[in-house]
Amino acid sequence: MLRARDLRHRYGGRVVLDVPDFTLTPGTVTALVGPNGSGKSTMLRILAGVEPSDEGTLELDGRPVRTPAERRAMRRAVTLVEQHPLLFDMTVAANLRDAVHLHGEAGAGAHARIAEVLDAVGAGPLADRRARTLSGGETQRVAIARGLLLAPRVLLLDEPLSAADRVARDALGGVLDRLRAAGTTVCFSSHQLEDAYRWSTRLFSLVEGRIDGVTPENLFRVDLPPGRGSRTVQAGPLALTVVTERHGPAIVAIPPDDILVSRKPIASSARNQFAGRVSAIAEDGRGRIRLVVDAGTDLVVRITPAALAELGLQIGSPVVLSVKAMAVRVF
């Protein structure tokens, strides 16, 4: 529904975005993950139509957005909540009423939903506060409520979890689940891979202005037994030792960079060792080698070309993978 084609954007002569094709599919929650300064905010502002790109076109529902009228129609359908959002100098409730007024067509029921959207982000008690006396996290939550109030078809959130405490995180998680259920398209940026894994249905990395699909590699759905600290869970065919305070259903991920590859079992502190055979060897486009090892299930491992040469690995080579329990991420 919202698609960007051949986007290029420069700041001071330096290309900060270079995105040939990027589509936000209806009803999905897309995460853009990347370090600070990788172009996430610029990308979202361009997608929201509040900053023009130097080159490229945006398409809404398959039609290019070119004229001022089309751009405004797109901005009505797409709402951006910035990382450091701005609220106007009035009360929180007045800010939300003002947003309905500015939007013009937010629907007759919008005013009646003010309390509802504030409650949804846990900001109900803030309704009568002066907006500019709020903390960063509170401001962010109120701005998200303001975005929800306009019921956009696409909601763009720039680092929505950056200033959030635990309560805010849970509230936002609930909001994202409801938006997804309601068919709203959501795209959020984060510099935390954990947040991206936890809340998104699609994941892209944005590094130095370029977008890559991130295959959620080495992910397993598990049921964590009650207890604390180090536990062993069944991750598909693998018995995996993890360290976590959580219990119940969860997702565990073994980061491909945190897996040690050896030809023979090694004596080490790593709690997890799996024997397998190399089933694929490829370059990952960033000068590293992506190995796929069949250890009962496919595990993706990234190593350096030097390590590949030293180990003399080929398709079919038997290898042992070692992973520290602490390196396994639990979502």
261 touches 311 (CB < 8 A): yes
The correct pick among 105, 181, 249, 286 for binding other proteins (CB under 8 A) is: 105
DSSP designation for 264: S
Residue 228, CA distances (Å) to 16, 27, 288, 305 in order: 44, 36, 36, 39
Does 132 bind other proteins (CB under 8 A)? Our answer is no
Size of the site for other proteins (CB under 8 A): 31
Does 104 bind other proteins (CB under 8 A)? Our answer is yes
Sheet with 55-60, edge to edge strand ranges: 14-24, 2-11, 55-60, 63-64
Does 111 bind other proteins (CB under 8 A)? Our answer is no
Which contiguous run of DSSP H or E holds residue 206? strand 202-207
Contacting other proteins within 255-314 (CB under 8 A): none
- Least Å distance between CB 2 and other proteins? 14
The correct pick among 12, 13, 62, 68 for binding other proteins (CB under 8 A) is: 68
The correct pick among 35, 61, 63, 86 for binding other proteins (CB under 8 A) is: 86
SS3 call for 288 = coil
Does 249 bind other proteins (CB under 8 A)? Our answer is no
- Least Å distance between CB 295 and other proteins? 47
27 touches 180 (CB < 8 A): yes
Does 89 bind other proteins (CB under 8 A)? Our answer is yes
Does 49 bind other proteins (CB under 8 A)? Our answer is yes
The correct pick among 4, 82, 240, 289 for binding other proteins (CB under 8 A) is: 82
Q: Which is nearer to other proteins, 10 or 97 (CB)?
A: 97
Candidate ranges 79-87, 180-188, 198-206, 225-233; the one touching other proteins (CB under 8 A): 79-87
The correct pick among 35, 63, 102, 165 for binding other proteins (CB under 8 A) is: 102
Q: What span, in angstroms and rounded, lies between the C-alpha atoms of 241 and 239?
A: 7
Q: What span, in angstroms and rounded, lies between the C-alpha atoms of 218 and 299?
A: 6
Candidate ranges 31-39, 74-82, 293-301, 308-316; the one touching other proteins (CB under 8 A): 74-82
The correct pick among 30, 38, 53, 79 for binding other proteins (CB under 8 A) is: 79
Q: Which two tokens stand for residue 117?
A: 């959207």
First to last CA, the chain: 30
Q: Which two tokens stand for residue 135?
A: 């903390």
Q: What span, in angstroms and rounded, lies between the C-alpha atoms of 58 and 245?
A: 44
Q: How many CA atoms lie within 13 A of 4 on its CB side?
A: 24
Contacting other proteins within 142-171 (CB under 8 A): 146, 150
Q: Which residues pair with 130 in a beta bridge?
A: 91
- Least Å distance between CB 48 and other proteins? 5
Positions that interact with other proteins (CB under 8 A): 45, 48-51, 68, 72, 75-76, 78-80, 82, 84-86, 88-91, 94, 97-99, 102-106, 146, 150
